[in-house]
Amino acid sequence: MISMTKPSAVAPAVDLADEAAYLDAVAHARKAADAYYGSGESGLDDDDYDRLLRGITAWEGAHPGQIADDSPSRQVGGGVTTGDVEHAVRMLSLGNVFSDEELTAWAASLERRLDGEAVAGWAVEPKLDGVALAARYREGRLVQLVTRGDGTTGEDVSHAVEDITGLPAALAEPVTIEVRGEVLMTEAQFAAANETRTAHGATAFANRRNASSGSLRAKDRAYRVEQTFLAYAALTDAEHTSDPTLAALTHTQLIARLAALGLGTTAGTPVATRACATLEQVAERVREIGALRAELDFELDGAVIKADHPADQERAGTGSRTPHWATAFKFPAAQKITVLRAVEWSVGRTGVIAPRAVLDPVEVAGTTITYATLHNPADIARRGLMLGDHVIVYRAGEVIPRVEGAVAGLRTGDEQPIAFPEVCPRCGADIDRSQERWRCARGRACGQVEAIRYAVARDALDIDGLGEKIIVQLVDKGMIEDFADLFTLTRDQLLTLDRMGDRSADNLMAAVAAAKAKPLNRVFCALGVLGTGRSMSLRIAAHFGSMQAVRDADAVALEQVDGIGGEKAPVIVAELADLAPLVDKLVAAGVNMDQPGFVPPAPADADADGGAGTTAPDAGSGLPLAGMTVVVTGGMTGLLADRSRTEMTELITAAGGRASSSVSARTHLVVAGEKAGSKREKAEALGIEIITPEELAERLAGLLG
């Protein structure tokens, strides 16, 4: 019997009680490895497979005389053989560590192999989550692609070469070389692959690795799927390359050399291979890669630490399965397998009908997930999801968890189709199915009360005292159709409402009057335009300065606003056209339509370098946060204690900064209040300046009234 030990952050091993449990675990691991390294679709997610393998290794350490011949701990790729092309030099797996303590112990073991001498230097790079591949070039021309297989032999997949970016047909120089790396799908490539696949009547891929593995081996498909190759090694000895200089390069220099030859690498990304002088720097870089994980368009499941210098690598040598001079620091799993139990349908304030997955609770990236995004009915159909399916749930950083796809190999036949609504789940009206996002045919009228509640909430018009019960009465009595009608209500009308006294009516009339003077960003947010919210509303208001300018803008003009792309801009234009009568009513009621302190945006070419990364703040503007991207997290204290998130965003904007909801390499400043949590940790890992709310108040003293 196999029983799990208590979970921890260090991937606890499966507890194996006896030899029978051990042999059962070996068989289970080999079956999972066969699926993982073969089809790419395994019944175990990475985290559970790691725990199982650690349990096997622990049992074998305690019982060295009873190790099974087919134990996956002794074999590359779990012992799976998928081809008959022999590797010139074995393609090995990597050992794993799961904590700083294990990393320190591994580094100490490496130094012992070097006769007690310190490692000359380290290299740290991402552990890419794809399919290992060897690319063979002869005199600069690509001649063969081979999968890792069992490390000794692999499968020839040269037929896929035209579908892989990062593997040029000809290198920049006529070099004979074998390059090794990972084939994977970016987020955009995965979306395109599933769209193409389902258009041809096939089931959507469950996840990116499944998609990469299956697509790499497919020969007779009627469609093609693009993938990406990122190199992480090359054979540098004289027997396997025509470039004698490669053997003397450090690993960091080798990756730079491969990039110069035209091969795909992580160079130019935030997680590019980096040299580190000390183990402390290694640990810091590992944390940086972990913090950046959610922002990348390719998946990784850890960081790889290597002895950087070839002399150290040669002296350390290799084992039967792994090199002694490299290891992987595994991160908590960003995706897990669980069961889809139900689908709930809700209707938003704009009439959009949205599905939500109800799941068996599962811990993903440190958070217990019970619900996940399903996007829309078309997405459900594309992925071929059914109730009872084992599904892959993905969550990285602060991204809302989503269902990636079903693990078709785990289906039992008892799964049931997902029932789509025939009529609007809220009001029973017809459904507009003309687009992927279904909407109630009544549109915003279906969510009338919800739309008004949204408009008067604290982040929008902030009309205190106007709760749902009052809104329902106003709607039911025909006093208001939308929130613009609030500004024409009379005191006598309010006094006809249940439990509305003189004082309450006076207070509510005062709150409504105060809302007329709110800045444009609050008014725009109150409109509830699809694809916008409090932050986007502020960006739009700050960019255009007046409601009339926003209404006059076409899609091209809207695309100039940070965060609005080619898909969102036309939607906003169409939404504003639909909302024109409501905006006209607001204007007639005397509601403010301008943004205080409006400053025309800088020319589009102001950032002359055009590159990625953090733009230097504009200290010359005189504003305390000029040009800075600022993230506010945790509870505010001191002079800022009563400020809402929207008010904090407005304050940052008034100070010349740009408020952001997520920490990244582009962030300049993090304001960390009480219980700041993961955003503070990420800022620390990235070396970003962190201040308290009190320190921010000091910087902005001139703007605080």
DSSP E strands: which ranges in 644-697?
A: 658-660, 669-672, 689-691
Give the pLDDT score at 360. Answer: 95
The tens digit of pLDDT for each residue in 24-38 reads 777 777 776 665 555
Query: Poorest-confidence range of 152-156, 216-220, 590-594?
Result: 216-220
Q: Read off the tokens for 72.
A: 């996956």
Question: 632: closest CA among 615, 647, 610, 617?
Answer: 647
**If pLDDT is split at 50, 70 and 90, which confidence band does 69 have?**
confident
Per-residue pLDDT at 111 exceeds 50: yes
Specify the DSSP element, H or E, that contains 545. Answer: none
Question: Helix %, strand %, coil % for the chain, to 5?
Answer: 40, 20, 40
Other Cβ atoms within 10 Å of 622 Cβ, number:
8
**If pLDDT is split at 50, 70 and 90, which confidence band does 466 have?**
very high
Starting at the edge strand found earlier in the chain, the sheet holding 164-165 runs 141-147, 131-138, 177-184, 227-234, 164-165
Specify the DSSP element, H or E, that contains 434. Answer: none
Who contacts 314 (Cβ-Cβ below 8 Å, separation ≥6)?
Answer: none
Residue 513 identity: A
Specify the DSSP element, H or E, that contains 47. Answer: helix 46-62
Other Cβ atoms within 10 Å of 84 Cβ, number:
10
What integer is the mean pLDDT of 465-469?
91
Per-residue pLDDT at 567 exceeds 70: yes
Query: Poorest-confidence range of 101-105, 365-369, 634-638?
Result: 365-369
Q: What does residue 640 show for φ and ψ, rounded to 5 degrees? A: -100, 5
DSSP assignment of 178-236 equals EEEEEEE--HHHHHHHHHHHHHTTPPPPSSHHHHHHHHHH--S-SS---EEEEEEEE--
DSSP assignment of 364-425 equals ETTEEEEEEE---HHHHHHHT-EET-EEEEE--TTPPPEEEEE-GGG--S--EEPPPPSS-T
The percentage of residues in the chain with a pLDDT greater than 70, rounded to a whole number, is: 89
Per-residue pLDDT at 286 exceeds 50: yes
Query: Poorest-confidence range of 97-101, 262-266, 348-352, 450-454?
Result: 348-352
Per-residue pLDDT at 682 exceeds 50: yes
Altogether, the residues listed in the chain come to a count of: 705
Active site residue 585: no
Residues 272 and 665: their CA atoms lie apart, in Å, by: 13
Q: Read off the tokens for 540.
A: 């739009």
Per-residue pLDDT at 656 exceeds 80: yes
CA angle (685 as vertex; 684, 687 as ends), nearest 5? 60
Alpha-helical regions (H) of 396-501? 448-456, 468-476, 491-495
Residues 539 and 649: their CA atoms lie apart, in Å, by: 10
Residues 172 and 547: their CA atoms lie apart, in Å, by: 53
Higher-confidence residue of 394 and 239: namely: 239
Give the pLDDT score at 209. Answer: 84
Query: Poorest-confidence range of 198-212, 499-513, 582-596?
Result: 198-212
| Residue 573, SS3 per DSSP | helix
**If pLDDT is split at 50, 70 and 90, which confidence band does 388 have?**
very high
Average pLDDT, the chain: 86
Query: Poorest-confidence range of 235-239, 324-328, 544-548, 595-599?
Result: 595-599
Give the pLDDT score at 36. Answer: 54
The tens digit of pLDDT for each residue in 261-270 reads 999 999 989 9
**Which of 54-68, 342-356, 400-414, 576-590 has the largest mean confidence?**
576-590
User: Do residues 107 and 119 make contact, with C-beta atoms less than 8 angstroms apart?
Assistant: yes
DSSP assignment of 240-290 equals T-S-GGGGGS-HHHHHHHHHHTT---STTSTT--EEESSHHHHHHHHHHHH
Directed axis angle between helix 279-292 and helix 678-686, to 10°? 130
The tens digit of pLDDT for each residue in 240-254 reads 999 999 999 999 999
Q: What does residue 572 show for φ and ψ, rounded to 5 degrees? A: -65, -40
Residues 363 and 337: their CA atoms lie apart, in Å, by: 10
Q: Can you name the CATH fold of 2-79?
A: Helix Hairpins (1.10.287)
CATH class of 85-330: alpha beta
Q: Read off the tokens for 266.
A: 């992580």
> Model pTM?
0.63
Give the pLDDT score at 117. Answer: 94
Give the pLDDT score at 705. Answer: 61
| Marked catalytic residue, from 6, 127, 477, 516 | 127
Give the pLDDT score at 56. Answer: 79
Q: Read off the tokens for 676.
A: 């700041």
Question: 524: closest CA among 536, 510, 511, 508?
Answer: 536
Give the pLDDT score at 83. Answer: 67
Give the pLDDT score at 618. Answer: 54
Residues 187 and 193: their CA atoms lie apart, in Å, by: 10
Categorise residue 440: left if φ over 0, alpha if ψ from -120 to 50, beta otherwise.
beta
Give the pLDDT score at 51. Answer: 72
Residues 484 and 684: their CA atoms lie apart, in Å, by: 45
**If pLDDT is split at 50, 70 and 90, which confidence band does 609 have?**
very low
Residues 235 and 254: their CA atoms lie apart, in Å, by: 10
Question: 294: closest CA among 273, 328, 270, 275?
Answer: 270
**With the CA atoms of 671, 672, 676 and 681 taken in that order, what torsion angle do they form, in degrees rounded to the nearest 10?**
90
What integer is the mean pLDDT of 38-62?
68
Residues 457 and 513: their CA atoms lie apart, in Å, by: 15
CATH assignment of 460-588, among 1.10.1280.10, 3.40.50.620, 3.10.129.10, 1.10.150.20: 1.10.150.20
Question: 391: closest CA among 368, 367, 373, 365?
Answer: 373
Give the pLDDT score at 397. Answer: 57
Give the pLDDT score at 350. Answer: 82
Give the pLDDT score at 702. Answer: 77
Rounded to a whole number, what is the distance in angstroms from the first to the last CA of the chain?
67
C-alpha distances (whole Å) from 379 to each of 142, 193, 347, 405 are: 38, 13, 17, 10
Same fold, 85-330 and 606-703: no
Per-residue pLDDT at 478 exceeds 80: yes
Give the pLDDT score at 75. Answer: 57
Give the pLDDT score at 604. Answer: 44
Query: Poorest-confidence range of 103-112, 253-262, 435-444, 657-666?
Result: 657-666
Residues 635 and 494: their CA atoms lie apart, in Å, by: 36
Residues 665 and 677: their CA atoms lie apart, in Å, by: 18
Give the pLDDT score at 186. Answer: 94
Residue 387 identity: L
The tens digit of pLDDT for each residue in 302-327 reads 999 999 999 999 999 999 889 999 99
Query: Could you tell me the residue ranges of all domains in the chain?
Result: 2-79, 85-330, 335-439, 460-588, 606-703
Residue with tokens 């349990």: 55
The dotted CATH code for 335-439 is 2.40.50.140
Q: Read off the tokens for 335.
A: 């995706």
Residues 154 and 347: their CA atoms lie apart, in Å, by: 51
Give the pLDDT score at 437. Answer: 87
User: Do residues 114 and 316 make contact, with C-beta atoms less than 8 angstroms apart?
Assistant: yes
- Residues 606-703: name the CATH superfamily: BRCT domain (3.40.50.10190)
The tens digit of pLDDT for each residue in 125-143 reads 999 999 999 999 999 999 9
Specify the DSSP class assigned to residue 514: H
